[in-house]
Amino acid sequence: MIRNSDLRRAAMAAAAILPWFVASAAEPPAPVKVEGAVKATVQVVAVDQSKREVTVKDPKSGETVTLEVSPDVRNFAQVKVGDNLNVVYYVALGAEFKKPGTGVQGIQQNAASTTAPAGAKPAGMVGQQVKATVKINSVDAANNMVSFTGPKGVKRTVAVKDPKAREFVKQLKPGDDVELTYTEALAISVEEAPPAK
């Protein structure tokens, strides 16, 4: 037979330790985003309008490269020797913990592009964003490795290099769902050569 005093003691003990359990319950990791951009400016050293080719030179290394220009590029006829070609390449990877079944289903992909208006110097941007939810298979925090299965059933193991991402990965466990968002964009613009002095 259970006495009231035993029930009271059990209730008091539970009340004393319950907040400790609640406080120590693992919170899902906060979302993380790793991003970077590479910028370069090269100088136009030759233009072949008939072949739609432009040759550019890296002012730091002196290296030249000839590029074929797509017919989609407007105003190519305005590019002249001495013009500067500015290039920016941006990439980002975001990761966010998701409760099972709440992340993106399958793979979502969005793309966008812009071009310069007619009559302006050639310029444009192209970018894409891909979202997918992966299931964590294992986490090797000591070696900064994480294994996961993607939406098409492909298993991958990757090394995690960014310190913010390493902290995120350390909080994951097998069976967790993580929504990944990969974004990349390329922007190119042409600036007229400065006037000769």
Q: Answer whether residue 6 shows pLDDT above 50.
A: no
What is the DSSP pairing of strand 155-159 with strand 177-191?
A: unpaired
Give the pLDDT score at 197.
63
Q: What 8-state DSSP symbol labels residue 84? A: E
CA-to-CA distance for 187 and 80, rounded, in angstroms?
19
pLDDT, residue 116, reads 86
> pLDDT value at position 121?
85
**Position 59 in a domain:** yes
114-170 pLDDT, tens per residue? 888 888 888 888 899 999 999 999 999 999 999 999 988 989 998 998 888 989 988
Closest CA to 79 of 189, 190, 187, 196: 190
> Is the pLDDT reported for residue 26 higher than 60?
no
Confidence band for 27, pLDDT divided at 50, 70 and 90: low
Q: What is the mean pLDDT of residues 55-60?
A: 89
**Do residues 83 and 74 make contact, with C-beta atoms less than 8 angstroms apart?**
no
* Within-domain flag for 11: no
Within-domain flag for 124: yes
Is there a domain that residue 18 lies in?
A: no
Distance CA 118, CA 76 (A): 10
Separation in Å, CA 80 to CA 13, 119, 125, 197:
82, 14, 21, 17
Higher pLDDT, 5 or 167: 167
Look at the pTM and tell me if it is higher than 0.75: no
Residue 8 domain-assigned? Answer: no
Straight-line distance from the first to the last Cα atom of the chain, in angstroms, rounded to the nearest whole number = 104
Residue 196 is assigned to a structural domain of this protein: no
Tens-digit pLDDT profile for residues 65-88: 898 888 878 888 889 999 998 988
pLDDT at 38 over 90: no
Question: Quick one: pLDDT at residue 98?
Answer: 87
In this structure, is residue 2 part of a structural domain? Answer: no
Residue 66's domain comprises: 29-191
Q: Which residues contact 75 (CB under 8 A, 6 or more apart)?
A: 116, 118, 119, 120, 121, 122
Q: Which residue has the tokens 């299931």?
A: 135
Q: What total number of domains does the chain contain?
A: 1
Let me know if residue 172 belongs to a domain.
Answer: yes
